[in-house]
Chain A
Amino acid sequence: MELSSQQIVETKAWRDMGLTDAEFDRIVEQMGRLPNWTELGMYAVLWSEHCAYKHSRALFHLFPTEGEQILQGPGENAGIVDLGDGLAAVFKVESHNSPSAVEPYQGAATGVGGILRDIFTMGARPVAVLNSLRFGSLDDERVRYLFAGVVSGISGYGNAVGVPTVGGEVAFDPSYRGNPLVNAMAVGIVEHRYIARGKASGVGNPVMVVGARTGRDGIHGASFSSAELDDDTEVPTIQAGDPFTEKLLVEACLELIQSGVVIGIQDMGAAGLTSSAAEMASRAGSGIELDVLKVPRREEGMTPYEIMLSESQERMLVVPKRGSEEQVEAIFKKWGLEAAVIGRVTDDGMLRVMEGDRVAAEVPVASIVDGAPRYEPAKQRPAYLDETINVEMPPPPQNYAQTLLDLLASPTIASKEWVYRQYDHTLGAGTVVAPGEGDAAVLRIRGTKKGLALTIDCNQRYVYLNPRRGAQIAVAEAARNISCVGAKPLAITDGMNFGNPEKPEVFWQFDQAVRGISEACAALNTPVTGGNVSFYNEKGGQAIHPTPMIGMIGLLDDVEKRVGMGWRQAGHRIILLGENRNELGASEYLALRGIVGGDAPELDLEREAAVQALVRSLIADGIAVSAHDCADGGLAVALAEACIVSGIGASIAVEADFRADALLFGETQSRIVISAAPEHVAEVERQAKEAGVPCTVLGETGGDSLKIDVGATPDGPESPLSISLEELERAWKGTIPRAMEGEAGVEAYVASASSEKGAD
């Protein structure tokens, strides 16, 4: 039931659409009159937090966004980074948290579909998808349902659309119980000459809708995503994804862009036709007039309001050169898709929506795109930090071997093979470092000798316990992972997931995280090229842990030089780059012992940059033949993982003058474990000295167990640790299949690994 302008005022109807009274007044002021129902709906979605970044935009100026490698920073559908050889990488991360909490399969599937459209709308062929997921505890049945549904949605969409899913991360923490996080990152490659942008320029040029028909799904999805979830939250129809149509759309759009007739092109994501038309006009400083009766629809009797706000998937808005309409139609027809002219580019700065001869809505582009208020919310350091920082350390463990096995088996550290086995990661015949093989995924860049390294990372416990440093570490760890395969970090996209920004404590976390990311990106020369902010991730008033996910890309000049995380052969020396420190705060080890506390580990960005440069140099020289960073679970877990992945044991002797659990399980940053042939140890030491990075020979590879002798380290185990590879593997690989499929599910993962071992 559509209300008249008068009725809107009487009933304060904007409130149900998520607008405040002040925001409504602002709309009236900017329009110079009262909006009608359709106009109010259009404003409500474009001025939603999801689209307008009302609470975050004021901080974006802090991000470093420039660098010689950056061809496109924030402001477009995705960032673009130069790869040389006339090629560029296009990448972006986006959240689909709210839909995934309601309908995990479709929520995750359309998340993948949406981020892929952001990539090919820039003219790039999508070559990889990654994802970063957060769930509550796996003991919870509802959490297992969400986890299984999200993974299968990503699998169902990504595999069928023909883009490999090559990496990502999954972590479990009770704070995500009612509000899982589903962030998808997509990466594409484009020749410079085919880069397209989302601009509606050239008065009189046609405006066309291409791809799927428009239905009633997802109306007000962006507004829904901008509110906290409560049990009585009214849930819109979740959009359904169709990877088959998307695959055809990829091919048709790339063919269209390469044909040279495209002036501008943009996908229809949140807020559908309203946002794509308004944003394309905004970027060009133009206007658009369109007729909703010309939009191909799949349902009868849709109103202008519904057509303008539909979030039906797999649609794009295209502005081609005048006179090329038939060529556009022919290309889409070839791929079995529709293309329809719905309007023209104008020069009056208005988005005018016609329904035949009737003006259904007429809004100023500048107002609806950029006129939303920018809030600078109050911020306050949360009180919990005073408690967490002073947490008392537990006594050393009774049984170090069991503690290591327990850590390996903790869901956040445990092998995610159950997940990535469901993702087609070899599609594209270009995945050089596959999931589980290295610290970052590596793709070969066809037609060159180069490799593209990809990762997405965040340790939310660090951010919770120290938002600024935690966010710095997220960037540092992403860059370390890129460096550990031998690639040079180039740029990031940030997936910011936080609670309600109107709460001063939440906004303080956000503000700190933005500063932390900015500092680390500046220090590591990885500018921000764009990203996504998802606020209101709360359930029952309880916010998630602040989770700024860092999606990063890096470049290998010679892809043949890449290394994985596992040992290469017996008899190699194991060397630690960086130094061990007496830190246990924020560790998985403490969490295992029931303590979410302490401070995030120290981070010296200069040291971090030096360690990363050193490992890249050692890999490029062919000296480091494996590299793995010390992250969750610390040094002992890093060593165990290198053993499990390679099927080769290790004998380690390491000593410290502080407690042994901090040495083995503390999560001190800027540490990388490498392996190298014995004759290269001197060269490692020489380069480390030159770089000012401490390095220590820890031991050597070989045998069928992991042995760790901590010597005279205080509070250490009575005798050196010795754990068989089989035990390590079972602990690490068994957890997730056991939780999801029961004990019977475990064998398929553990047994297969041992049979794969004999492969090379």
Chain B
Amino acid sequence: MRYGIIVFPGSSGDADMYHVLRDVLGAEVEYIWHRDSAVDHVDCLILPGGASYGDALRPGAIARFAPVMQAVRTFAERGGLVLGIGNGFQILCEAGLLPGAFLPNRGVRFISRSVYVRVEQTDTPFTRRCEPGQVLRLPIAHRFGNYFVDDAALAQLEERGQIVFRYCTASGELAEAANPNGARAHIAGVCNEQRNVLGMMAHPERAAEDLLGSVDGRLVFASIADALAASGRVQGV
């Protein structure tokens, strides 16, 4: 299986993702330049964290117009797996591939710390190796992580099981104090209706080695590998 990591001007999580996928997990991986349009030779596309286009206007607002995004859209429509982390999540929302939008963190300041997220859905390609309700410890680092959807959209997300991660306490309870950025309904990650596109604010690639204090992030990548193996889908949609 092969991963493609999209590099926008201003992406900074691309190298970390590359390192984890290749050096830690032994996967095949390549960078895909924001001007490129050929993505169909990979099995999973990743939109990494960072500050694409300097977060001008709003995070993700410019990146959605990058030439590669048309290819990402087609890839997703054909059922390809797309994972957006941090700024990648913001881009997917701006591009309309995921519902919702982002406000500045409650308290306005940038937040860099370790948080707990609860796995709400295990029937996605990104979480199938997790237990229902499993609590993962992952780092966050963002200033616009306050996820927002209106009441109707929230109800729909709940109904269709699209809320994949929620911020929680160490023991898995939802609490305001455990919601770092004020996200609506404690939402830390959502998928699309077809469940092949996931956005999450926390960084699984920064929690994939014992040396860094948590390996919970590996569950996301193990799930993807599992899902691809199960679907027999290797290289090419």
Contacts and interface: CB of A to CB of B under 8 A. Distances in A.
Interface residues of B, number: 43
Given A421-B113, A422-B109, A429 B205 contact: yes
B20 A758 contact: no
Given A152-B109, A244-B56, A159 B114 contact: no
Interface stretch (A99-107, A220-228, A378-386, A748-756): A748-756
B195 interface: no
B10 A426 contact: no
B113 A752 contact: yes
Contact of B112 (A420, A430, A446): A420
A155 B177 contact: no
Contact of B50 (A155, A162, A444, A759): A162
A752 B55 CA distance: 28
A560 B213 CA distance: 11
Interface in B7-60: 9-13, 15-16, 19-20, 23, 49-51, 53-56
Nearest to B139: A426
A76 interface: no
A756 B206 contact: no
A162 B10 CA distance: 8
Of residues A247, A429, A741, A748, which shows the largest number of chain B Cβ atoms within 10 Å of its Cβ? A429
Contacts of A560: 211
Interface in B120-152: 137, 139, 141, 143
B111 A160 contact: no
A248 B13 contact: no
Contacts of B206: 426-427, 429
Nearest to A760: B213
Nearest to B19: A429
Given A422-B109, A422-B112, A755 B12 contact: no
A429 B178 contact: no
Contacts of B211: 432, 444, 559-560
Nearest to B177: A751
Contacts of B214: 759
A429 B212 CA distance: 7
Contacts of A655: none
B10 to A, nearest CB: 5
Interface in B67-94: none
A428 interface: yes
B169 A426 contact: no
Contact of A160 (B10, B15, B107, B203): B10
Of residues A155, A444, A752, which shows the largest number of chain B Cβ atoms within 10 Å of its Cβ? A752
A755 B214 CA distance: 16
B231 interface: no
Nearest to B217: A429
B170 interface: yes
Contacts of A666: none
A110 B126 CA distance: 40
Interface string A716-760: 000000000000000000000000010000011001100111111
Contacts of B20: 429
A514 to B, nearest CB: 37
Contacts of A422: 109-112
Interface string B159-175: 00000000001110000
B14 to A, nearest CB: 9
Contacts of B23: 446
A428 B10 CA distance: 14
Interface string B177-202: 11000000000000000000000000
A449 to B, nearest CB: 10
B54 A242 contact: yes
Interface in A237-284: 242-245, 247-248
A747 B141 CA distance: 20
A748 B175 CA distance: 12
A159 B171 contact: no
Nearest to B137: A759
Contacts of B171: 758
A424 interface: yes
A189 B44 CA distance: 31
Of residues B169, B209, B211, which shows the largest number of chain A Cβ atoms within 10 Å of its Cβ? B211
A425 interface: yes
Given A247-B10, A247-B12, A431-B212, A421 B111 contact: yes
Contact of A759 (B109, B111, B170): B170
A618 B99 CA distance: 54
A424 B109 contact: no
Contacts of B15: 428
B19 A426 contact: no
A172 interface: no
B177 A421 contact: no
Interface string A142-161: 00000000001001100111
B112 A426 contact: yes
Given A429-B206, A755-B178, A243 B54 contact: yes
Contacts of A757: 170
Interface in A398-457: 420-432, 444, 446
A160 B54 contact: yes
B131 to A, nearest CB: 18
Nearest to A747: B177
B141 A159 contact: yes
B143 to A, nearest CB: 8
A336 interface: yes
A755 B212 contact: no
B119 to A, nearest CB: 17
Contacts of B50: 162
Contacts of B11: 162
A194 interface: no
Nearest to A432: B211
Interface string A447-472: 00000000000000000000000000
Contacts of A741: 107
Given A160-B54, A247-B10, A248-B9, A423 B112 contact: yes
A743 to B, nearest CB: 15
A428 B177 CA distance: 28
A155 B109 CA distance: 9
Contacts of A427: 12-13, 16, 49, 141, 206
B203 to A, nearest CB: 7
Of residues A244, A248, A420, A431, which shows the largest number of chain B Cβ atoms within 10 Å of its Cβ? A244
Nearest to B55: A160
Contact of B170 (A152, A426, A758): A758
B171 to A, nearest CB: 7
Given A244-B9, A751-B177, A756 B114 contact: yes
A554 to B, nearest CB: 18
A244 B205 contact: no
A60 interface: no
A752 B177 contact: yes
Nearest to B49: A427
Contacts of A756: 114, 170
B212 A244 contact: no
Contacts of A242: 54
A335 interface: yes
A94 B145 CA distance: 32
Contacts of A759: 114, 137, 170, 214
A559 to B, nearest CB: 7
B112 A244 contact: no
A614 B190 CA distance: 51
Nearest to B175: A755
Nearest to A125: B15
A-B pairs, 3 with minimum CB distance: A244-B54, A162-B12, A429-B16
Given A427-B49, A427-B141, A755-B178, 16 more contacts: A152-B110, A155-B109, A156-B110, A159-B143, A162-B12, A242-B54, A244-B54, A247-B10, A335-B9, A423-B110, A424-B110, A426-B141, A429-B206, A444-B211, A444-B212, A751-B177
16 contacts: A152-B110, A244-B54, A247-B51, A422-B111, A426-B112, A426-B139, A427-B16, A429-B16, A429-B20, A446-B23, A559-B211, A748-B177, A755-B116, A755-B170, A755-B177, A756-B114
